[in-house]
Amino acid sequence: MSDILELETRRNIYDYITKTPGVNLSTIAETLQLSAQLVDYHLSYMENHELITIDKGEGYKRCYVRGSIGVEEKRMLALLRQGIPLQIVLFLLEHPFSRYKDVLKHLGVSSALFSYHLRKLVKNGLVTVAASELESGYVCQNEKNIIICLLRYQPSTVTKMVRDTWDDFGPQK
Protein backbone atom coordinates (compact mmCIF):
# COMPACT_ATOMS: atom_id res chain seq x y z
CA MET A 1 0.00 0.00 0.00
CA SER A 2 2.84 2.41 0.76
CA ASP A 3 3.98 2.11 -2.90
CA ILE A 4 0.54 3.12 -4.12
CA LEU A 5 0.42 6.14 -1.80
CA GLU A 6 3.99 7.18 -2.48
CA LEU A 7 2.89 10.19 -4.52
CA GLU A 8 1.93 13.14 -2.32
CA THR A 9 -1.11 14.05 -4.43
CA ARG A 10 -2.50 10.52 -4.27
CA ARG A 11 -1.81 10.31 -0.53
CA ASN A 12 -3.61 13.64 0.02
CA ILE A 13 -6.64 12.40 -1.92
CA TYR A 14 -6.67 9.14 0.04
CA ASP A 15 -6.37 10.97 3.37
CA TYR A 16 -9.23 13.28 2.41
CA ILE A 17 -11.46 10.32 1.51
CA THR A 18 -10.53 8.70 4.84
CA LYS A 19 -11.68 11.84 6.70
CA THR A 20 -14.80 12.43 4.59
CA PRO A 21 -16.23 9.14 3.32
CA GLY A 22 -18.80 9.53 0.56
CA VAL A 23 -17.17 12.66 -0.80
CA ASN A 24 -17.55 13.18 -4.53
CA LEU A 25 -14.90 13.83 -7.15
CA SER A 26 -15.66 17.52 -7.66
CA THR A 27 -15.53 18.25 -3.93
CA ILE A 28 -12.16 16.50 -3.67
CA ALA A 29 -10.84 18.52 -6.61
CA GLU A 30 -12.17 21.80 -5.21
CA THR A 31 -11.00 21.22 -1.64
CA LEU A 32 -7.52 20.03 -2.60
CA GLN A 33 -7.28 22.58 -5.43
CA LEU A 34 -6.62 19.97 -8.10
CA SER A 35 -8.10 19.47 -11.54
CA ALA A 36 -11.02 17.06 -11.77
CA GLN A 37 -9.12 15.06 -14.40
CA LEU A 38 -6.14 14.59 -12.07
CA VAL A 39 -8.36 13.54 -9.19
CA ASP A 40 -10.25 11.13 -11.46
CA TYR A 41 -6.97 9.57 -12.59
CA HIS A 42 -5.81 8.99 -9.01
CA LEU A 43 -9.23 7.69 -7.92
CA SER A 44 -9.21 5.15 -10.75
CA TYR A 45 -5.69 4.10 -9.85
CA MET A 46 -6.58 3.61 -6.17
CA GLU A 47 -9.77 1.76 -7.08
CA ASN A 48 -7.85 -0.57 -9.41
CA HIS A 49 -5.44 -1.27 -6.54
CA GLU A 50 -8.37 -1.92 -4.18
CA LEU A 51 -7.64 0.92 -1.75
CA ILE A 52 -10.96 2.65 -2.32
CA THR A 53 -14.40 1.90 -3.68
CA ILE A 54 -16.31 4.27 -5.89
CA ASP A 55 -20.10 4.22 -5.94
CA LYS A 56 -21.48 5.75 -9.12
CA GLY A 57 -25.01 7.03 -8.96
CA GLU A 58 -27.14 10.10 -9.58
CA GLY A 59 -24.33 11.87 -11.41
CA TYR A 60 -21.76 11.57 -8.62
CA LYS A 61 -18.80 9.36 -7.96
CA ARG A 62 -18.82 8.87 -4.18
CA CYS A 63 -15.56 7.62 -2.73
CA TYR A 64 -14.91 5.41 0.30
CA VAL A 65 -11.87 3.72 1.74
CA ARG A 66 -12.41 0.04 1.02
CA GLY A 67 -14.04 -1.79 3.90
CA SER A 68 -14.30 1.27 6.14
CA ILE A 69 -18.05 1.89 5.99
CA GLY A 70 -21.18 -0.24 5.84
CA VAL A 71 -23.85 -0.31 3.16
CA GLU A 72 -26.46 1.49 5.31
CA GLU A 73 -24.04 4.28 6.20
CA LYS A 74 -23.07 4.67 2.52
CA ARG A 75 -26.74 5.01 1.61
CA MET A 76 -27.28 7.62 4.31
CA LEU A 77 -24.14 9.59 3.53
CA ALA A 78 -24.91 9.70 -0.19
CA LEU A 79 -28.11 11.58 0.70
CA LEU A 80 -26.87 13.58 3.67
CA ARG A 81 -24.01 15.04 1.64
CA GLN A 82 -26.60 16.80 -0.51
CA GLY A 83 -27.83 20.15 0.76
CA ILE A 84 -31.59 19.82 0.39
CA PRO A 85 -31.91 16.26 1.73
CA LEU A 86 -29.71 17.24 4.68
CA GLN A 87 -31.90 20.28 5.40
CA ILE A 88 -35.04 18.13 5.24
CA VAL A 89 -33.59 15.56 7.65
CA LEU A 90 -32.33 18.20 10.08
CA PHE A 91 -35.72 19.93 10.06
CA LEU A 92 -37.54 16.64 10.69
CA LEU A 93 -35.15 15.71 13.49
CA GLU A 94 -35.98 19.02 15.14
CA HIS A 95 -39.68 18.99 14.17
CA PRO A 96 -40.90 15.39 13.89
CA PHE A 97 -44.32 14.79 12.37
CA SER A 98 -44.12 17.91 10.20
CA ARG A 99 -46.50 18.39 7.33
CA TYR A 100 -45.35 18.68 3.73
CA LYS A 101 -46.20 22.39 3.50
CA ASP A 102 -44.33 23.20 6.74
CA VAL A 103 -41.10 21.58 5.59
CA LEU A 104 -41.46 23.14 2.14
CA LYS A 105 -41.98 26.59 3.66
CA HIS A 106 -38.87 26.19 5.86
CA LEU A 107 -36.68 25.17 2.91
CA GLY A 108 -37.84 27.92 0.59
CA VAL A 109 -37.35 25.88 -2.59
CA SER A 110 -39.79 24.96 -5.32
CA SER A 111 -42.30 22.23 -4.53
CA ALA A 112 -40.97 20.14 -7.46
CA LEU A 113 -37.41 20.25 -6.11
CA PHE A 114 -38.58 19.52 -2.58
CA SER A 115 -40.78 16.61 -3.76
CA TYR A 116 -37.88 15.13 -5.73
CA HIS A 117 -35.58 15.07 -2.70
CA LEU A 118 -38.32 13.97 -0.30
CA ARG A 119 -39.11 10.99 -2.56
CA LYS A 120 -35.41 10.01 -2.50
CA LEU A 121 -35.37 10.18 1.31
CA VAL A 122 -38.54 8.08 1.57
CA LYS A 123 -37.33 5.57 -1.04
CA ASN A 124 -34.06 5.10 0.85
CA GLY A 125 -35.74 4.72 4.24
CA LEU A 126 -34.50 7.90 5.91
CA VAL A 127 -37.94 9.53 6.04
CA THR A 128 -41.40 8.01 6.35
CA VAL A 129 -44.99 9.19 6.55
CA ALA A 130 -46.53 8.78 9.98
CA ALA A 131 -50.25 9.11 10.58
CA SER A 132 -52.30 9.90 13.64
CA GLU A 133 -56.06 10.01 14.04
CA LEU A 134 -56.22 13.59 12.76
CA GLU A 135 -53.44 14.06 10.23
CA SER A 136 -50.24 12.73 8.77
CA GLY A 137 -46.73 14.11 8.75
CA TYR A 138 -43.15 13.20 7.91
CA VAL A 139 -40.67 11.80 10.40
CA CYS A 140 -37.12 10.54 10.22
CA GLN A 141 -36.91 6.79 10.26
CA ASN A 142 -34.09 5.35 12.37
CA GLU A 143 -33.32 8.73 13.96
CA LYS A 144 -30.59 7.23 16.10
CA ASN A 145 -28.70 5.88 13.06
CA ILE A 146 -29.02 9.18 11.22
CA ILE A 147 -27.71 11.15 14.20
CA ILE A 148 -24.83 8.70 14.70
CA CYS A 149 -23.96 9.00 11.01
CA LEU A 150 -24.01 12.81 11.18
CA LEU A 151 -21.85 12.83 14.30
CA ARG A 152 -19.40 10.18 13.08
CA TYR A 153 -18.79 11.68 9.65
CA GLN A 154 -18.53 15.41 10.11
CA PRO A 155 -17.43 16.56 6.69
CA SER A 156 -17.24 20.29 6.23
CA THR A 157 -20.40 20.45 4.11
CA VAL A 158 -22.46 18.57 6.68
CA THR A 159 -20.89 20.43 9.61
CA LYS A 160 -21.51 23.81 7.95
CA MET A 161 -25.12 22.95 7.15
CA VAL A 162 -25.75 21.61 10.67
CA ARG A 163 -24.26 24.81 12.10
CA ASP A 164 -26.35 27.00 9.77
CA THR A 165 -29.52 25.04 10.49
CA TRP A 166 -28.90 25.10 14.24
CA ASP A 167 -28.38 28.86 14.02
CA ASP A 168 -31.81 29.12 12.40
CA PHE A 169 -33.37 27.28 15.34
CA GLY A 170 -31.32 29.00 18.05
CA PRO A 171 -32.43 31.87 20.24
CA GLN A 172 -33.63 34.84 18.23
CA LYS A 173 -31.59 37.99 18.72
Overall domain count for the chain: 2
Residues 77 and 161 in one domain: yes
Indicate the length of the chain as a whole number.
173
Gap between the Cα atoms of 166 and 45, Å rounded: 39
| CATH assignment at residue 37 | 1.10.10.10
27 — alpha (psi -120 to 50), left (phi > 0) or beta?
alpha
Residues 107 and 38 in one domain: no
Query: Quick check: is 2 in a domain?
Result: no
* Amino acid in position 41: Y
- Please compute the mean of the pLDDT values over residues 148-164 and round it to a whole number: 66
- Expressed as residue numbers, the domain containing 49 is 8-68
Above 60 in pLDDT, residue 154? yes
In a 13 Å sphere around the CA of 68, the CA atoms on its Cβ side amount to 19
Residue 128 · residue 97 · CB < 8 Å: no
pLDDT digits (tens, 9 = 90+) for 71-130: 888 888 888 888 899 999 999 999 999 999 999 999 999 999 999 999 999 999 999 988
Residues 84 and 155 in one domain: yes
In the three-class reduction of DSSP (H, G, I as helix; E, B as strand; rest coil), residue 139 is classed as: strand
